[in-house]
Amino acid sequence: MKLPQKYIAQCSTVLSLLIASSAFAQTALPAYDLLLQQGHVIDAKNHIDSVMDVAIKDGKIAKVAQHIPSSDALKTIDAKGLYVTPGLIDIHVHVYAGTGERNSYAGDNSVPPDGFTFRVGVTTVVDAGCSGWKNFEDFKRRIIDRSKTRVLAMLNIVGSGMRGDKYEQNMADMDGDATAQMALKYPGTVVGIKTAHFGGPEWTPVEQAVIAGTKANIPVMVDFGTDRPTRPLYDLLTVKLRPGDIYTHMYSGLRHEQDPTTLGPSKAFIEGRKRGIYFDAGTGGGSFKWSLAVPMVKAGFIPDSISTDLHIGSMNGATKDELNVASKMMAIGLSLQEVVAEMTSHPAHEIKRDDLGNLSEGSVADIAVLSVEKGHYGFTDMQNTRVDGTQKLVAELTIKDGKIVYDLNGMEAKLWNEPLDPNAKYASRWTTFAPRAPDTHNAPAKEMPH
Ligand SMILES: [Zn+2]
């Protein structure tokens, strides 16, 4: 059917009136979408460590102040007694799952990120070298582009990625230039270069990784593989790596991290830190011993960043998840403020993503609302020895891009028999969860079929 011209003109007038009136309705909305009131804000980058209100608008942090009235927001959540921090960043995980490849971190050894992140306040993860320049784009299509978690990546210096010895010991597949080219194609998503698991006596993987890191202006993260006298840790940290590069598995004890006499950090660690090398927890399945962590932390050698090295071999072992690793560090003397910094602004800075890991006005509204539970807790290591603790961090609420993605105890929800939230029709502005539909509340009960 062909519509008469006059009718179309009328329709477009009505349409523009509708648009104008909805624009009017928009301006009449409160200033903020979501308001977290009276939580204890820990924002290391902005030196905030006190009770504050945090307002969010259009997925961004709009305002952090001592008092922001509820009437200024569509939705207000009372965070009294809880800690409000930037969304946590775990810079060492393995999440290239789903390819079907057995015994491979580009396959079965990896985990799907969304199952392990929001529930512990993590909003950003960095895949540490599961893919190299040859398979990064497959990883991106498969995981990065489809996950709700913000997934960033360090490219393995091995072009084929972390797929077992056949690939990872092949020096012919370690091409710094090709790796840099792929990194430069995805700036901000590829945030580092990884070298790992190398068993040979050569420096080739480290040298090629540094070539790639230098060309792409991103850090190199080192899992130093097998301990070899031809490539001592001291040379790695004082000569081979650049300031700003990252040494992961810092408490593994596998490569002379610890001074055998003092039991504190080795000379290599002390000199490396002076040079500006970052030290990352990366506790994983076999990379964390209390016999190192306890004396080294006592000597003041704490992590620059707390990460998990999450994979199928660590998810149910001693590591478990990001907050468990942080709780472990608190059990041996770190403060809550220290562990929060090590999961937010510090790792963001290490990967040159200083836009993340803070609650500055205008920043992306990724937020973790945490509780510190008190009780008796046990924390284990790779040798199944234990440290007892009295505090445990729990994620109560996780917000990603301004919207609630995890809500452990239904903080944002109304009781089922309470009246509807008058702003429920705007709920998609602050949450990913569906509000109760208005017509179901007072609907007459239907007779159910038997
Ligand atoms: Zn790892």
Separation of alpha carbons 127 and 152, rounded Å: 6
Q: How would residue 15 be classed by pLDDT, with cut points 50, 70 and 90?
A: very low
Domain that holds residue 267: 86-400
Task: Check whether 2 has a pLDDT greater than 70.
Answer: no
Count CB-CB contacts under 10 A for residue 262: 11
Task: Check whether 25 has a pLDDT greater than 80.
Answer: no
Residues 191-214: what's their mean pLDDT?
98
CA 103–ligand 1 middle distance (angstroms): 14
CA 344–ligand 1 middle distance (angstroms): 19
CA 297–ligand 1 middle distance (angstroms): 22
Does residue 71 belong to any structural domain of this protein?
no
CA 162–ligand 1 middle distance (angstroms): 9
CA 425–ligand 1 middle distance (angstroms): 44
Of residues 21 and 34, the one with the higher pLDDT is: 34
Backbone angles phi, psi at 95, to 5 degrees: -130, 25
CA 350–ligand 1 middle distance (angstroms): 17
Complete DSSP assignment for 95-141: ----S--TT-TTTTTS--GGGTSGGGTEEEEEEEEEEETTTHHHHHH
Complete DSSP assignment for 261-274: TTSSB-HHHHHHHH
Q: How would residue 436 be classed by pLDDT, with cut points 50, 70 and 90?
A: confident
pLDDT of the residue at 23: 47
Rg (CA), the chain: 25
CA 165–ligand 1 middle distance (angstroms): 15
Q: Are strands 220-222 and 190-195 parallel, antiparallel or unpaired?
A: parallel
Separation of alpha carbons 294 and 258, rounded Å: 11
Task: Check whether 12 has a pLDDT greater than 70.
Answer: no
CA 379–ligand 1 middle distance (angstroms): 20
What would the two tokens of residue 227 be? 């301990």
Query: What digits encode the pLDDT tens for the residues 292-345?
Result: 999 999 999 999 999 999 999 999 999 999 999 999 999 999 999 999 999 999
Separation of alpha carbons 379 and 320, rounded Å: 10
Does residue 204 belong to any structural domain of this protein?
yes
Of residues 103 and 28, the one with the higher pLDDT is: 103
CB 105 within 8 A of CB 311: yes
Does residue 174 belong to any structural domain of this protein?
yes
Task: Check whether 291 has a pLDDT greater than 70.
Answer: yes
Task: Check whether 168 has a pLDDT greater than 90.
Answer: yes
CA 309–ligand 1 middle distance (angstroms): 5
CA 61–ligand 1 middle distance (angstroms): 32
Is this structure's pTM higher than 0.85?
Answer: yes
CA 69–ligand 1 middle distance (angstroms): 45
CA 41–ligand 1 middle distance (angstroms): 31
| Burial environment of residue 101 by CB neighbours within 10 A (0 to 12, 13 to 18, 19 or more) | middle
Of 37, 39, 42, the residue nearest 72 (C-alpha): 37
Task: Check whether 62 has a pLDDT greater than 90.
Answer: yes
CA 92–ligand 1 middle distance (angstroms): 6
pLDDT of the residue at 418: 93
* Percent of the chain topping pLDDT 90: 90
CA 348–ligand 1 middle distance (angstroms): 18
Query: What digits encode the pLDDT tens for the residues 369-408?
Result: 999 999 999 999 999 999 999 999 999 999 999 999 999 9
Q: Reduced to 3 states, what is the DSSP secondary structure of residue 184? A: helix
Query: What digits encode the pLDDT tens for the residues 203-239?
Result: 999 999 999 999 999 999 999 999 999 999 999 999 9
CA 38–ligand 1 middle distance (angstroms): 38
Does residue 338 belong to any structural domain of this protein?
yes
Separation of alpha carbons 443 and 294, rounded Å: 61
CA 236–ligand 1 middle distance (angstroms): 18
pLDDT of the residue at 435: 85
CA dihedral of 156, 287, 125, 295, whole degrees rounded to 10: -130
CA 115–ligand 1 middle distance (angstroms): 18
Task: Check whether 245 has a pLDDT greater than 90.
Answer: yes
CA 448–ligand 1 middle distance (angstroms): 54
pLDDT of the residue at 17: 45
Ramachandran region, residue 171 (left: φ > 0; alpha: ψ -120 to 50; beta: rest): alpha
**Continuous segment of H or E residues that includes residue 305:** none
Q: How would residue 77 be classed by pLDDT, with cut points 50, 70 and 90?
A: very high
pLDDT of the residue at 437: 78
CA 307–ligand 1 middle distance (angstroms): 10
pLDDT of the residue at 5: 52
Task: Check whether 448 has a pLDDT greater than 60.
Answer: no
CB 436 within 8 A of CB 410: no
Determine the longest span between alpha carbons in the chain, in angstroms. Answer: 93
Counted domains in the chain: 1
List the strands of the sheet with 278-279, edge to edge. 88-93, 122-132, 150-156, 190-195, 220-222, 246-247, 278-279
Does residue 91 belong to any structural domain of this protein?
yes
- Identity (one letter) of the amino acid at 251? Y
CA 223–ligand 1 middle distance (angstroms): 7
CA 107–ligand 1 middle distance (angstroms): 14
Question: 65 vs 48, 52, 226, 340, CA distance in Å?
Answer: 10, 6, 51, 20
Of 156, 139, 177, 183, the residue nearest 352 (C-alpha): 183
Q: How would residue 439 be classed by pLDDT, with cut points 50, 70 and 90?
A: low
CA 197–ligand 1 middle distance (angstroms): 9
Query: How many angstroms from the chain centroid is the CA of residue 198?
Result: 26
CA 123–ligand 1 middle distance (angstroms): 19
CA 154–ligand 1 middle distance (angstroms): 11
Question: 144 vs 50, 136, 138, 140, CA distance in Å?
Answer: 35, 10, 9, 5
CB 85 within 8 A of CB 52: no
What would the two tokens of residue 282 be? 């990366």
H helices of 290-428, where?
290-298, 322-331, 336-343, 345-350
Does residue 32 belong to any structural domain of this protein?
no
* Percent of the chain topping pLDDT 70: 91
CA 388–ligand 1 middle distance (angstroms): 26
pLDDT of the residue at 21: 47
Of 392, 264, 252, the residue nearest 328 (C-alpha): 392
Question: 323 vs 174, 343, 372, 410, CA distance in Å?
Answer: 34, 9, 11, 20
Does residue 261 belong to any structural domain of this protein?
yes
pLDDT of the residue at 294: 98
Does residue 372 belong to any structural domain of this protein?
yes
Query: What digits encode the pLDDT tens for the residues 345-380?
Result: 999 999 999 999 999 999 999 999 999 999 999 999
Separation of alpha carbons 113 and 93, rounded Å: 9
Residues 123-146: what's their mean pLDDT?
98
The DSSP call for residue 149 is: S
Task: Check whether 96 has a pLDDT greater than 80.
Answer: yes
Domain harbouring 207, CATH code:
3.20.20.140
Of 385, 197, 392, the residue nearest 292 (C-alpha): 385
